[in-house]
């Protein structure tokens, strides 16, 4: 079946540090891949996405590249800010079925200290 595995948190960094949150997936075919972010007390927001191999999604300084050969979609940011503190979810949407169904990882809580 389809599944997403992302690194366990929590992750604590100092402001301006480099961030990597690992995400690997299991799926048939070519799923679409997403990173969603959940700020405290809010719903999820789409951060970035990639729909085919070697695509790079980017937004707000965050980047992730769809790697078919390693079935990965790691999230990176060169210099984090306190405002990036949130829970980050990696997710996939299966390639078949035309469905909106998302399969999520467990989430990684990031805390950025000033």
Work out which of 105, 108, 110, 112 binds other proteins, going by CB under 8 A. Answer: 105
On whether the CB atoms of residues 56 and 50 are closer than 8 A, the answer is: yes
Q: How far is residue 87's CA from residue 41's CA, in Å, rounded to a whole number?
A: 11
Q: How far is residue 89's CA from residue 102's CA, in Å, rounded to a whole number?
A: 11
Instruction: Please provide residue 14's backbone torsions phi and psi, each rounded to the nearest 5 degrees.
Output: -90, 155
Contact window for other proteins (CB under 8 A) among 10-18, 63-71, 77-85, 89-97: 89-97
97 interacts with other proteins by CB under 8 A: yes
Q: How far is residue 29's CA from residue 70's CA, in Å, rounded to a whole number?
A: 14
- Cβ distance to other proteins smaller for residue 19 or 91: 91
What one-character DSSP code corresponds to residue 96? Answer: S
Work out which of 40, 41, 69, 70 binds other proteins, going by CB under 8 A. Answer: 41
Work out which of 25, 62, 73, 89 binds other proteins, going by CB under 8 A. Answer: 89
Work out which of 19, 21, 23, 44 binds other proteins, going by CB under 8 A. Answer: 44
User: Nearest-CA neighbor of 90 among 28, 43, 41, 44?
Assistant: 44
95 interacts with other proteins by CB under 8 A: yes
Query: Where on the chain is the footprint of other proteins (CB under 8 A)?
Result: 31-32, 36, 41-46, 49, 51, 89, 91, 93-95, 97-107
């Amino acid at each position: 079946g389809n599944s997403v595995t992302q690194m366990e948190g929590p992750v604590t960094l100092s402001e301006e540090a480099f961030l990597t949150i690992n995400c690997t997936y299991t799926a048939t075919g070519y799923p679409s891949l997403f990173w969603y972010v959940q700020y405290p007390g809010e719903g999820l927001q789409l951060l970035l996405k990639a729909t085919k191999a070697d695509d790079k999604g980017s937004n707000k300084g965050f980047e992730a590249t769809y790697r078919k050969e390693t079935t990965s979609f790691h999230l990176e940011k060169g210099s984090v800010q306190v405002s990036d503190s949130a829970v980050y979810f990696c997710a996939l949407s299966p390639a078949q079925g035309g469905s909106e169904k998302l399969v999520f990882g467990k989430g990684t809580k990031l805390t950025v200290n000033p």
